[in-house]
Amino acid sequence: MRMNDRIAATMPPVPHVEVVGRVDGRCPGCGKTGDHTALRVPGDPGPDRELFAYGLCDACGTLFLDEPIDPSQFYGPNYYSHHAPPPASALKTKAMTARNIVTLFAPAAISRAMGRVSEHPTLPCLRPVIHGEVSRAFGRDARWIDIGCGHGALLKTLKAAGFRNLTGADPFMVAESHEPGLRLLRSDGISLSEQFDVVMMQSSLEHVLDPDAVLSGLHRILAPGGVVLIRIPIISSYAWRTYGGEWGNLDAPRHVTLWSQSGFEAAAARNGWKVARAACDGYMRGITSSEARLIGESEHFGKVNRLFTRSQLRTWKKLAADLNRSGQADELAFYLTA
């Protein structure tokens, strides 16, 4: 089901967001220049909480940062994506690897059943690439790169599942590393002088100041016949309507652009890409991070699931699945071909 892209621009007042007039600017989605709705949205909860200026495109519903700041200053030394969690026990590691292999490679019905028992938040969106549902099949021997990989958690998971040619790129990487089958590079990715069969940007494109430059630059590193997988938060969603400025995936000002589906598809087309497939890919974190912000907590300062009961978490897990089915989830996976 296609999302309602106009809802962000036509809905009643958004909770926890202040409308302050109009703003000039260029929409990173549809490219409209000129008159947009001006908003003030809150940053992380805390005693020194700041408000940030965003523009909301009245044409496509895309939300974009509208003040001259460098969002990288808001990551800090403890930003979660750049630091690996403590290692799990050997037994738990083996169990998770077995689950991940089933999630990626088993027939679809078995993979879905595994997800109901133990769900990995990212791996299911790789199945269309691995099983040839977008282009040809790309598996363990293909050349994969994850741009904006943080400390490389997803790539390490793939290596444990048998992938043999993996690269991670992140301009804010704490330390580079090289080991058989896996390189982690301090790089923006698009400036590398090699090509890859699969280019991933998992929850990273929304962080960049110039998404057109990145989308255009991906052509240089994608091998002929390859696939680009971009997974991003989507504003035309239940979460934006319900939580507004406390939506966890809004994450101002680190998230510079929050696209609508039509806004992202316009940006992709403008930069020479065909959207071969788009699929809702939200999960419970989008809800729990929002609920935590409502009570003054942020996932950037600690695990928030501890704040809620098992009953609440079960309810929100089911809600996330329902939102995926109805086309109102707060994350989408886009599969692009040249």
Take residue 37 and report the two structure tokens written for it.
Answer: 């709705």
Residue 65: its H or E element: strand 63-65
pLDDT of residue 147: 98
Contact status, residue 282 vs residue 274, Cβ threshold 8 Å:
no
DSSP of 16-47: T-EEEEEE--B-TTT--BS-EEEEEEE-SSST
Query: Is the CB of residue 199 less than 8 Å from the CB of residue 145?
Result: yes
Peptide bond into 85 cis (omega under 30): no
- At 88 the pLDDT is 80
Domain boundaries, the chain: 77-234+258-337
d(CA 309, CA 315): 10
Buried b / exposed e along 94-126 (16+ C-beta atoms within 10 A): eebeebbebbbbeeeeebeebbeeebbbbbbbb
Which one, of 333, 316, 301, 332, lies nearest residue 119 by Cα?
Answer: 316
Q: Can you give the pLDDT at residue 3? A: 42
> What is the reported pLDDT for 174?
82
Which pLDDT score is estimated for 84? 66
The CATH code of the domain at 77-234+258-337 is 3.40.50.150
Question: Comparing C-alpha atoms, which of 222, 204, 219, 209 is closest to residue 331?
Answer: 204
Question: Hey, what are 2's tokens?
Answer: 């296609």
Q: Which residues pair with 63 in a beta bridge?
A: 56, 258
Which tokens belong to 93?
């590691």
Question: What is the rounded distance in angstroms from the CA atom of residue 108 to the CA atom of residue 113?
Answer: 9
Q: Nearest 5°: phi and psi at 6?
A: -80, -10
The pLDDT value recorded for residue 175 is: 87
Chunked mean pLDDT (size 10), the chain, 338 residues:
43 82 94 94 93 96 93 72 72 94 97 92 96 96 96 95 97 90 97 97 96 98 98 96 96 96 98 97 94 92 89 96 96 98
85: Cβ contacts below 8 Å, ≥ 6 apart: none
